[in-house]
């Protein structure tokens, strides 16, 4: 009996020691990353209600909004982690009157997305989409992540309230004494776009190290190639121009600036 108790005590001590070692080394546990989408106007910081000169015209922006979704990370072993419920509304906007002024969607600035519970590993690339996938876009009753009819993107009259607005950029365009209201929006399943960004070096994510991934979002590139003097409003009826804007988001406007472990 004493022999059995001695063996049990040894086993208990061994397990306690292992537990202490495990508690001291948390590098195998899940971590998090913060995605920052830093809005710019070329080299200037983006701001609302401020004049910027773009291609000879002045623009005074009142809104920038877009959905980031479908986020996934690929590690150095080629394993892909798909972030669950990854629907995030990035925006900088003034207060918006909704339902004929019955209530207001508040002024808001949001450039950061924090993703938790990422499996520990060294990650070499990230993929994400601009817009909402067809499954959720075709059925507004499906709720996931931040998707909601009350989240400010479907309660504004556009596209018949039957699908999400993927992106929205609004401004006053000023040339001399002439001022024109500009609205540049995307939607429709054909304009759902996915980007893949490779990191220069793999970045570590674990309980001891998180990553900070920064993108520059250049508003001048969103409207690149558009003649807003002729077509100041781009939406569902301007399908060619809307596709151009969607391509601009995926090919020109959003560029990786840095990816670091901290």
> What confidence score (pLDDT) does residue 102 get?
77
Ranges of the chain whose pLDDT falls below 70 = 1-25, 99, 149-161
Residue 237's contacts (CB-CB under 8 Å, 6 or more residues apart) are none
Question: How large a percentage of the chain has pLDDT more than 90?
Answer: 71
d(CA 129, CA 68): 6
Provide the 8-state DSSP code for 148: -
pLDDT in tens, 194-250: 999 999 889 999 999 888 999 999 999 999 999 999 999 999 899 999 999 999 999
Is the CB of residue 190 less than 8 Å from the CB of residue 132? no
pTM of the model: 0.86
Report d(CA 141, CA 148) in Å as an integer.
8
| All residues at 6 or more sequence positions from 137 whose CB lies less than 8 Å from its CB, including other chains | 131, 163, 164, 187, 189, 192
Distance CA 259, CA 239 (A): 35
Question: Alpha-carbon dihedral of residues 30, 127, 77, 80, nearest 10 degrees?
Answer: 60
**What pLDDT score does 24 carry?**
60
pLDDT score of 5:
39
pLDDT of residue 96: 81
As given in the structure block, the two tokens for residue 59 are 């623009």
Q: Is the dihedral of CA 98, 229, 248, 55 positive or negative?
A: negative
Give residue-wise pLDDT tens across range 182-198.
999 999 999 999 999 99
Q: How far apart are CA 29 and CA 19, in angstroms?
A: 14
- The pLDDT score that the predictor gives to residue 12 is 43
Report the distance separating Cα 216 and Cα 41, nearest Å: 10
What pLDDT was estimated at residue 132?
Answer: 94
d(CA 85, CA 105): 23
Instruction: Give the pLDDT of residue 150.
Output: 63
- What residues contact residue 129 under an 8 Å CB cut-off, 6+ apart? 68, 69, 70, 192, 193, 194, 195
């Amino acid at each position: 009996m004493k022999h059995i108790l001695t063996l049990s005590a040894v086993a208990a001590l061994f397990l306690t020691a292992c537990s202490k070692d495990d508690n001291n080394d948390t590098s195998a546990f899940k971590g998090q990353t913060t995605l920052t989408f830093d809005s710019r106007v070329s080299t200037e910081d983006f701001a609302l209600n401020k004049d910027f000169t773009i291609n000879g015209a002045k623009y005074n922006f009142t809104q920038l909004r877009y959905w980031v979704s479908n986020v996934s990370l690929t590690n150095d072993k080629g394993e892909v982690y798909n972030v669950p419920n990854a629907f995030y509304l990035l925006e900088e906007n003034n207060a918006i009157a909704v339902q004929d002024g019955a209530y207001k969607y508040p002024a808001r600035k949001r450039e950061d997305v924090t993703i938790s519970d990422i499996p520990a590993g060294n990650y070499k690339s990230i993929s994400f989409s601009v817009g909402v996938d067809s499954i959720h876009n075709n059925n507004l009753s499906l709720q996931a992540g931040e998707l909601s009819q009350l989240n400010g993107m479907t309660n504004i009259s556009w596209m018949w309230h039957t699908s999400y607005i993927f992106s929205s950029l609004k401004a006053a365009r000023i040339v001399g004494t002439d001022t024109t209201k500009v609205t540049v929006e995307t939607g429709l399943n054909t304009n759902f776009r996915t980007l893949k960004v490779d990191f220069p070096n793999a970045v570590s994510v674990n309980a001891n190290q998180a990553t900070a991934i920064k993108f520059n979002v250049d508003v001048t590139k969103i409207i690149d190639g558009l003649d807003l003097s002729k077509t100041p409003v781009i939406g569902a009826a301007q399908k060619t121009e809307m596709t151009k804007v969607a391509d601009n988001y995926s090919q020109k406007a959003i560029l990786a600036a840095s990816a670091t472990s901290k």
